[in-house]
Structure 1
């Protein structure tokens, strides 16, 4: 029965995509399901047991989305690729890949792929993240996320500014998921990852014969087919192409390399930068007219060092996540380790915190992440030491001792007691207001987005 249910789930996925492949750490195919896989030329031969690069000789292993995900140890969603099958034929595909990780490390990966052609109308494929996936308790940031969610329904251009690792792609995905284009492709293109000599052809497409080896192929704007194009690290776009991008955005037309013909296209652009674009404009490294065109709606994600109150919440999230991935049962982080987290600068932001949690859970002996389990570069900054695990737990874990002065028995952590008290207050007020969220948020003195989050957290709405 379990196998039948698993097969049904796979079939539902394959209804949305062309192929699903599972490989081991060495790139050997362990599982393959296909619905019209135009790239595999093996006929009726099963590719199971083959190397992925033998199955698809158009790529080196390093060029495949699944290998990149395994190397990064995190999913890569909606990566756009142009696959040149022969001298005259190329296919545009979108790949999403997920690393398979256990307590020993990366053991393989899964990739699902869809050819871009025809009329796809399935939001399940292109909708990956939503605003609820952005973890924060910062009221100001929650308010701005609420505003951005409303703006998402329009087609206005959005520029997301934030340091590396703050979650810019998650925000871009969320905008697409809440837009009228959510059933269309969401194409991610990192401008810093493309060699400058290939940038123009990838973005705008090529005409056969325009240069040696050139074939007829669409660029990312044509391939989006009414969807969203996310240009990450737009600050890396060469000056020589910025004018062409501006014209494409202004007139909703593209001109392929080697062609004088304008092709009408329908798309929305979301751009992101990890540096101050205005500073690049002042330095003559970025066109001022393109900057103002992209900067219709500017959304700034503050660095983690300015969101210290989110560190505990994010840490709990990653501990829970890696408990499932690594088959662990870590329940908390020691007060000394958490103190170091609060003092650290987090130049790599949320991504760095995620990696620190994963690393620490691999070294933790018990149910608590201790100072000794942290990466060396963090421990070297500590100007304090832990005396014992029990001493450390007493600061943050269940306190099972009697306060003789006030005659109170504390059998729960402070956080648990605060949560219970908060839930009780919110439940009373929202019931009194007959579940009117606006009225309740005003009475409690908190933003509506914060109230929505807490109602969901406490299962009250």
Structure 2
């Protein structure tokens, strides 16, 4: 049956929308089809691969390691095989492949490979192991003399005496991981691993394997691989932004917390674990419960020890202390000798709303010190533009919001947050990565907020 142009366009449209990489080579090893998902997985442009010899573009430890070449040269069919290889820039890629030859009259005329990307899963596990060895925070790293901070620290120190689950509530940039690590390193588990994972940073399809590990046989070529629970055994596992987990995974997590056993993906045997779980959330947990982002039973199980980290706008008496701390830090890093800030800067820092919290303040001071070359004091002109203005609209309630239109505190804060994020995004021409850096939050956290605003009843959220 011949394929006319219309039929081919239909096939091509389907190939481009598939959430699986499709790579087809002809009998000479030349790439003839390479879809969008494959480009994304392998970080390659179409022109770098299409009509090129497959062997000239991708690298393997040995050519025998290529499932696609095995299908072409030997007629070999492989299913659910894990494969690690390199693109033409030397980037390591790990995929799970289904590969088979294409035949015509018993002759092999090409080969096709369908691949799923697990590079991110492999990378995250490696990064967590490296971070577990490098990052060590204690209560001394949490800067603040305000009553709210000192009360929170005292409550956190009490939590070091037990192995109960801890639920840390705090906006992005408030220092949740510092508190979590401080609890771990102040406890009897301090000699055992501390593993941290942001649940919003990993696709849902990979999270289960990442948390619980994989068993040999889950897919062909898979090795027995421990998940984060096993890596943290005897120590502490921090699950950041727990409200990003889907309900199915939340139910499995609840079961692990109750039974203290995990089962790897593809496995039958249950393994006993001894892991203290600390979870964090960047919104009011009651709001997350109401909106269906957090299971009620999981919330009650995690919040044995609830800790609330106050946002910077609620402890502005700590701003001066934090500012001096960051100046000392970047003096050392940059080889500078800034002595402090002038009175206009102090006033601007006190007036700002700090929706990015302590992280935003640190980035503001770092940016100011980049501009204050060979100066001894940070002045207003050294601050980022959003702090220089003496009449920032987000700090001045609009008349219609105060008169004749009463708002709850929660509604007001949501509106202020929305306006500020919108202004920063517009200032960065819609570039989410740059806006996230300016706001002092991760790209994933910003994307989550944008999604929340668009789905909520907050009007006029248009970038």
Residue 161, structure 1, aligned to residue 172, structure 2: no
Map 1:183-194 → 2, pairs under 5 A: 183-194=191-202
Q: Using the alignment, how far apart are the partners of 1:180 and 1:261 within structure 2?
A: 29
Residue 374, structure 1, aligned to residue 383, structure 2: yes
Q: Using the alignment, how far apart are the partners of 1:53 and 1:322 within structure 2?
A: 38
Q: Using the alignment, how far apart are the partners of 2:199 and 2:370 within structure 1?
A: 34
Deviations 1:75-120 (A, max 9, x none): xxxxxx9649xxxxx9896113xxxxxxxxxxxxxxxxx8xxxxxx
Q: Which deviates further from its counterpart, 349-358 or 277-286?
A: 277-286
Match of 1:188, SS state, is: strand
Match of 2:200, SS state, is: coil
- Pick aligned residue for 1:258 from 266, 283, 308: 266
TM-score (norm 2): 0.57
Shift of the alpha carbon at 1:224? 1.1
Match of 1:254, SS state, is: strand
Distance change in 2, residues 1:92/1:138 (3 Å): closer
Q: Using the alignment, how far apart are the partners of 2:243 and 2:340 within structure 1?
A: 40
Q: Using the alignment, how far apart are the partners of 1:371 and 1:91 within structure 2?
A: 42
Map 1:425-440 → 2, pairs under 5 A: none
Shift of the alpha carbon at 1:214? 4.0
Shift of the alpha carbon at 1:292? 0.3
Query: May I ask how many residue pairs the two structures share in their alignment?
Result: 281
Q: Using the alignment, how far apart are the partners of 1:263 and 1:349 within structure 2?
A: 40
Map 1:38-437 → 2, pairs under 5 A: 58=92, 83=122, 94-96=129-131, 125=133, 128-211=136-219, 214-365=222-373, 366-382=375-391
Contact kept, 8 Å, 1:127 with 1:182, in 2: the verdict is no
Deviations 1:365-421 (A, max 9, x none): 5111000111112213458xxxxxxxxxxxxxxxxxxxxxxxxxxxxxxxxxxxxxx
Distance change in 2, residues 1:237/1:82 (3 Å): closer
Shift of the alpha carbon at 1:57? 5.9
Contact kept, 8 Å, 1:204 with 1:218, in 2: the verdict is yes
| Corresponding residue of 1:22 | none
Distance change in 2, residues 1:339/1:168 (3 Å): same
Match of 2:201, SS state, is: coil
Distance change in 2, residues 1:288/1:148 (3 Å): same
Bigger share in helix: 2
Shift of the alpha carbon at 1:300? 0.4
Distance change in 2, residues 1:172/1:59 (3 Å): farther
Indicate the structure (1 or 2) with the bigger Cα radius of gyration. 2
Gaps of 5+ in 2: 1-60, 62-85, 95-119, 393-463
Gaps of 5+ in 1: 1-40, 42-51, 61-80, 85-89, 97-113, 115-124, 384-461
Contact kept, 8 Å, 1:252 with 1:265, in 2: the verdict is yes
Shift of the alpha carbon at 1:286? 1.6
Contact kept, 8 Å, 1:226 with 1:266, in 2: the verdict is yes
Shift of the alpha carbon at 1:281? 1.5
Q: Which deviates further from its counterpart, 136-145 or 347-356?
A: 136-145
| Corresponding residue of 1:33 | none
